[in-house]
Amino acid sequence: MITRQFLIDQIKRKKSFLCVGLDSDIDKIPPFLKDYPDPVFEFNKRIIDATKDLCIAYKPNAAFYECRGMAGLQSLIATSQYLPKDCLSIIDAKRGDIGNTSAKYAEAFFNEKTSGMSFDAITVTPYMGNDSVTPYLAYENKWVILLALTSSVGSQDFQYLPAGDGYLYETVIKKANNWAGADRLMYVVGATKSTEFTNIRQIAPDNFLLVPGVGAQGGSLEDVCRYGMNKDCGLIVNASRSIIYASNGEDFADAARAEAQKLQKQMHAELGKTGII
Which residues are known to be catalytic?
94
Alpha-carbon span 20 to 276, nearest angstrom: 22
Q: Phi/psi class of residue 145: alpha, beta or left (left: φ > 0; alpha: ψ in -120 to 50)?
A: beta
Cβ atoms within 10 Å, residue 91: 25
Cβ atoms of 234 and 208 within 8 Å: the answer is yes
Q: Count the Cβ atoms, other than its own, within 10 Å of residue 33.
A: 17
DSSP character at residue 11: H
CA atoms of 125 and 116, how far apart (whole Å) = 24
Strand segments, DSSP code E, in the chain are 18-22, 57-60, 88-95, 121-124, 143-149, 162-163, 166-167, 185-189, 209-211, 235-239
Q: How far apart are CA 124 and CA 108, in angstroms?
A: 14
Backbone angles phi, psi at 59, to 5 degrees: -140, 90
Residue type at 181?
Answer: G
3-state helix, strand, coil in the chain (%, to 5): 45, 20, 35
In angstroms, the CA 47 to CA 45 distance is 5
